[in-house]
Structure 1
Amino acid sequence: MVAEHGLPETLILNGEQRIRGIAEQFGMDYLGVTVSRDTTLQMTPRGDLETVWGTDRVPDEAVVFVTEMPRLYSLPVGAGRDKSARERVVIAELDRERGAAVISLPALGPSPRRRLGNFIATVVSALNDSSTEPFERTRGLLVVRDGDTEYVLATSNFGRIRLTAGMVRGNRPWRLIPTLTGMTAAAAAAASFGIFFSTIWSMANALSPWRLAAISILSMILASLWLIVNNRLWQRTADTPRQRARLYNTATVCTVAFSGVVLYAGLFIATLIAAMTVIDETFLSSQLGFQAGLNNYLQLAWLATSMGIFAGALGSSADSHDDVLRATYGYRERLRRRASESATSGEMSESR
């Protein structure tokens, strides 16, 4: 087993006992897990996976590489059950001559732990008996041979949604929130402004729930856009093939939006608690001109939080650019390409 550093490494190491059982099931000796920490799975200029196994391997050895790289394959017109030329999600790639396979973790969805174990068993079974029967027994899979490589594709249209969700899971958006210290500080400061000024109290009470909801949605959209643009998270098609760039950008938007929603919810709760602690109900009633209740505190916290998110977007300029980039697939794509270019230049230098 070879696992890329990150989520593949975590899942493989946690499920090592099950993988050992899979090896024993097929009469194989389990050689352990190799974690690729300093290098990632590289690609050729046209986007194919570079070979990750050596040519001097033991003949009876089987290598399974788990990567976080999303993969797509264009089916020709009339191939398989799909009669249109569409790109299908690649779950695995097999090279039987070398006894090796690559599994794309994002294709297994946002909760890949169990599916990964099952799919490793299926891949090892296919490598062991040199047929596609193990995949044919699994519903929703199609095997296409292209040269020496066999591509295991998801035939369902839901496969693209599952892939995107898996990519967001691979980004681990909850790790993005602690890095947004500037955004959080600015948002909290602006939200506290609404707690201490009675004008905001009256405005919050005058706005309808629909308008408050619209303001909150607008604030999160603008904050997400600012975060993406300011940190140059958008992947351009000039740097990356169009389909992969579209996948990366979709995953980035979902990752940033998820982080924004969590930040908004946390700030709302903190603002509500602060408002109920600082503003006495009797004083709030005197300022509004009627008996105030929990609903008025909720509206105040709602508007103050939206104001805070607006200001927090500008505060995100102070956050670490590298920390934000690490939560995107586009950044890891650039690392792969640099590694591939370095390896190519190194080979050329040696040949000279």
Structure 2
Amino acid sequence: MRHPNADSTGRRLRLVLIADPGLPSEIARNLSRRLPEHLRRRIGRGIRWQVDTVTEPLVADEQADVSGLAEIVEARGQDGDWDIGVFLTDLPRRAARNPVSTEVDPERRIALISLPALGSRRLPRRVRQAVVDVVRQLTAQDEEPLDSPVVGRPAPSEESKRERYVVPGLRGHVRLVLGMVRANRPWRLFTSLSRAMAGVFATAAVGFLNNTTWRISTTLGISQLTVIAVLSTLALTGWIIIDHGLWERAEELPDTHASLYPYNLVTLLTIGLGVFFLYTTLFVTLVAVSFLVVPSAVFGNITQHAVDASDYATLSWFVTSTSMIGGAFGTGLENAEEVRDAAYGQRHRRRQRKLTEARDRDRDK
């Protein structure tokens, strides 16, 4: 049971951060250590803050009402003895096409903060500021509605008891997309796909020791190498998305599904960045070992000119680009579910499973 008057009659308040698994849970745990200090500094009044964290998967509905979240958590057996509840989710939320960053229910003293609407830069700091802002409002420290660069602007709400805050315009949509990509953690994509990694490095090893490759690489200019690099990364990105059915199509989704935006865009950026991180890792590795495995005398004899560091760099660049083909063959051997697990955060994976189940039910009707 929550104690709505604890801050006026006593001097201890318990704030519970209830977070989705994955990135929100990590941020909540790190935030809880110093949050009491920030609350005392910003709110004052001699309140002693107890901050606890709970990891609990929240609902998968994009338009879920913040007022129903307390019952969802308590129904699953979580401790309901808290004064203020703040939910952290990586679920993207929108109101009239504007990304929703925060939703507050002052009567029940709960708030929902959607991490994607806060963007990707300095996310822990922005989450901390958003939490402090909503706690100030829930403890009646701010009579006026929130309006800050982090939580955004007040938005009209059909429910008078709820207060929604949106980040409108282009800035809000850029924040939303980048925040969703951040939650997917694209830099971890290929470290989880062993067959793709094996295909890339096997192709690189073969090409790196081929004297035909040496000749071709030294005849290519910067513009040609750049075009080859871009085309190879785009080709591998497209192959992964198409081969494993990651691109969502409206005709394959349930009738009740919301707009595809921004999910396909997030998929494209997530896979594209994952391929880019793989490309960069392979290039740096090849440059590092090129001087050891390719003797300059042999290299110069094959290319018919004295070689220098730039020749080794262009060789590594060209081999990295051609090795993306091996990555495509490797990802083709991966299980589709394994690719989704590697490419997406937990929220996106749960959402895709829900859509798959809904599609299957529609087909059975």
Bin of the TM-score, shorter chain as denominator length: 0.7 to 0.9
Residue in 2 that maps onto 1:227: 240
Cα shift readout 1:47-103 (whole Å, capped 9, x = no counterpart): 4347211299989832211110011110xxxxxxxxxxxx21100112233322111
Paired residue secondary structure (2:261): helix
Structure 2 distance, partners of 1:254, 1:135, is 32
Change (3 A) 1:123 1:206: same
Q: 2:221 and 2:149 mapped to 1: Cα distance?
A: 52
CA drift at 1:208: 1.8
* 1:108 equivalenced with 2:128 (yes/no): no
Distance across 2 between alignment mates of 1:255 and 1:116: 22
Matched, 1:120 2:131: yes
> Equivalences for 1:289-300 in 2 at 5 Å?
289-300=304-315
Distance across 2 between alignment mates of 1:186 and 1:283: 27
Superposed CA deviations along residues 167-188 of structure 1, whole A, max 9, x for unmatched, are: 1111112222211211111111
Q: What does 1:28-47 align with in structure 2 at a 5 Å threshold?
A: 30=50, 32-36=52-56, 39-43=57-61, 47=63
- The CA deviation at 1:236 is 2.9
- Partner amino acid for 2:349? Y
Q: State the alpha-carbon separation in 2 of the partners of residues 181 and 137 from structure 1.
A: 44
SS at structure 1 position matched to 2:240: helix
Which residue number corresponds to residue 48 of structure 1?
A: 64
Q: 1:244 to 1:2 in 2, by over 3 A?
A: farther
Q: Which stretches in structure 2 are left out of the alignment for 5+ residues?
A: 1-16, 359-365
Match of 2:196 in 1: 183
Equivalent in the alignment of 1:254: 269
- The CA deviation string for residues 239-285 of structure 1, in whole angstroms up to 9 with x for no partner, is 27776522122222111111111111111122233432222211211
Distance 1:58 1:40, change over 3 A: closer
Alpha-carbon distance in 2 for matches of 1:10, 1:42: 19
**Aligned amino acid, residue 83 of structure 2:** E
Q: How many residues align?
A: 325
Match of 2:165 in 1: 152
Deviations 1:185-229 (A, max 9, x none): 111111122222211111112222211111111100011111111
Separation (CA, whole Å) in 2 of partners of 1:311 and 1:132: 60
Which 10-residue stretch deviates more, 140-149 or 204-213? Answer: 140-149
Q: Which digits, 9 at most, give the CA deviation of each residue in 1:90-117, with x for residues without a partner? A: 0011223332211101111113111111
Give, in whole Å, the separation in 1 of the partners of 2:53 and 2:316. 50
- Which residue number in structure 2 is paired with residue 192 of structure 1? 205
Please tell me whether the aligned partners of residues 41 and 336 of structure 1 are also in contact (alpha carbons under 8 angstroms): no
The letter for the 1-side match of 2:266 is A
Trace 1:270-285 onto structure 2 (pairs within 5 A): 270-285=285-300
Whole-Å Cα distance in 2 between the matches of residues 180 and 242 of structure 1? 30
Secondary structure of 1:157's aligned partner: helix
> Matched residues in 2 for 1:299 and 1:101: separation?
54
Identical pairs, percent: 26
Whole-angstrom distance in 2 between the partners of 1:162 and 1:68: 13
In structure 1, C-alpha distance between the alignment counterparts of 2:99 and 2:48, rounded to whole Å: 30
- Structure 2 length as normaliser, TM-score? 0.79
Contact 1:132 1:143 in 2 (8 A): no
2: CA distance, partners of 1:231 / 1:91: 32
**Structure 1 equivalent of residue 107 of structure 2:** 97
Per the alignment, residue 179 of structure 2 pairs with 166
SS in 2 for 1:246: coil
Q: Is the 8 A contact 1:3 1:34 kept in 2?
A: yes
CA contact (8 A) 2:31 2:128 kept: yes
Q: Are the aligned partners of 1:18 and 1:117 in contact in 2 as well (CA < 8 Å)?
A: no
Tell me the equivalent position of 2:10.
none
Which stretches in structure 1 are left out of the alignment for 5+ residues? Answer: 75-86, 341-352
TM-score scaled by length of structure 1? 0.82
What residue is the counterpart of 1:8 in the other structure? 24
Q: Work out whether residues 58 and 69 of structure 2, in 8 Å CA contact, stay in contact via their aligned partners in 1.
A: no
Distance verdict in 2 for CA 1:175–1:30, change over 3 Å: same
Coordinate RMSD, CA, aligned? 3.0
Question: Which residue does the alignment assign to 1:61?
Answer: 83
Q: d(CA) in 1 for partners of 2:227 and 2:257?
A: 33
Please identify, of 165-174 and 327-336, the stretch whose mean Cα deviation from structure 2 is larger: 327-336
Q: Is this contact kept in 2: 1:187–1:309, CA < 8 A? A: yes
